Amino acid sequence: MIKNISTMKNYNQKRERCCELVEALEEERRKINVFQREFPLCLELVTQAIEAYKREISGTTTDNVYGQSECSEQTTGECGRVLDLFIPIKHSSTFVEEVEEEVDDKDDDDDDDDEHESHETNIDFDDKNMKSEWLKSVQLWNQPDAVVSNNRQDHSQETTEMMVELIKRNDEAAEKNNNIQSPATTSGGGGGGRRGQRKHRRCWSQELHRRFLNALKQLGGPHVATPKQIRELMKVDGLTNDEVKSHLQKYRLHARRPSQTTPNNRNSQTQHFVVVGGIWVPQTNHSTANVVASGETTTGIYGPMVNPLSSEWPSHSNFGRTISEDRSRSCSNKGIFRCSSPAMSSSTRTKTKDAKIS
DNA sequence: GGAGGAATAT
DNA sequence: AATATTCCTC
């Protein structure tokens, strides 16, 4: 008898717990629903989990008062599987291809913005240190699209994690395909294929670019800083000299001809730039409302990605497109002031080279 | 090996 | 067309 009572008690508790879970999951589903297109699988998984729990609830309330209901099995079976997709995330700190082991608080000592950045992220993880590492990695390296999709602050931690996990899985799959489908080629002159497999194309996230600018600032400008120095200052694991060099080259190119012709629809809110130590920066810490498509600007986990950095490029052109997509269009190249420009002329090397050629 | 610039691929 | 990667030259 006592046994029966305690069993009943257990089931009531269990049922209560299930109800809570269902509610929580439904809440999650509502949130994910916003991203239905981006995360169909995620939505499906949550839906499945909800259904599984609902079945379990109905199972415990009806016939199967004693013993394991079939739905209980589903819980450990289907539902367990579903949940397994989410739960392990918390234990996997190394799922980003290139984990930045070095990018931690210690490294950011000289990077004044980064400390601020960690506040922007509003992360309340228990194991903050561990998570911030991989979150930073995601933030730095991930495709901006995917990251921007996560830019809603009303997402709970679990939801975000689920999304990150799904993104990661998609990326992994894509990468696998890439490796299989694009073996070493010998086609095309110039860069591609001459030597083995072409490197995975990497996008410079806002955060990455911010670090780049920071390093540039510290080194005294794009025409003084060398790729190696920049890379060392950026302290981003996995970042190569070549990548920095390329980025620097791009930056210099745009600095060389800051005013491109794209007149017409300019807001009256003209953006003013100042060159400080050879770096183009917005004159003021403008709050020029660069309205993000999703509406309210958030400072969630991927908060820093939201800040429009396009203004930090020498020109307003599409240079920063990978970083902030097309938000840069709202910038203007009018009202640019140049205070100093160390060594803006093209290098003498080119001249000697040209001289040799001619 | 590192840097700058150009060529090339995506 | 813009941007990342690779090659060439110093």
Q: A305-314: per-residue pLDDT in tens?
A: 333 344 466 6
Q: Using CA atoms in the order A134, A138, A141, A142, what is the torsion angle rounded to 10 degrees? A: 160
Closest alpha carbon to C1' of C5, residue: A191
Res. A251: pLDDT tops 80: yes
Overall average pLDDT of the A198-225 stretch: 82
User: Can you give the distance from the CA of residue A249 to the C1' of nucleotide C9 in angstroms?
Assistant: 16
Res. A112: pLDDT tops 70: no
Verify if strand C has an atom below 7 Å from the CB of A201: yes
- For A4, the token pair is 């029966």
Q: Rounded CA gap, A57 and A22, in Å?
A: 10
Res. A137: pLDDT tops 70: no
Q: What is the pTM (predicted TM-score) of this model?
A: 0.40
Overall average pLDDT of the A250-276 stretch: 54
Chain B footprint bases within 7 A of protein beta carbons: 2-10
User: Can you give the distance from the CA of residue A277 to the C1' of nucleotide C10 in angstroms?
Assistant: 27
| Type of residue at A223 | H
> Which nucleotide is closest, CA of A323 to its C1'?
C3
User: Can you give the distance from the CA of residue A18 to the C1' of nucleotide C4 in angstroms?
Assistant: 50
Overall average pLDDT of the A258-279 stretch: 44
Q: Where are the beta strands (DSSP E) in chain A?
A: 273-276, 279-282, 336-337
Residue by residue, DSSP assigns A14-47 as HHHHHHHHHHHHHHHHHHHHTTTTT-HHHHHHHH
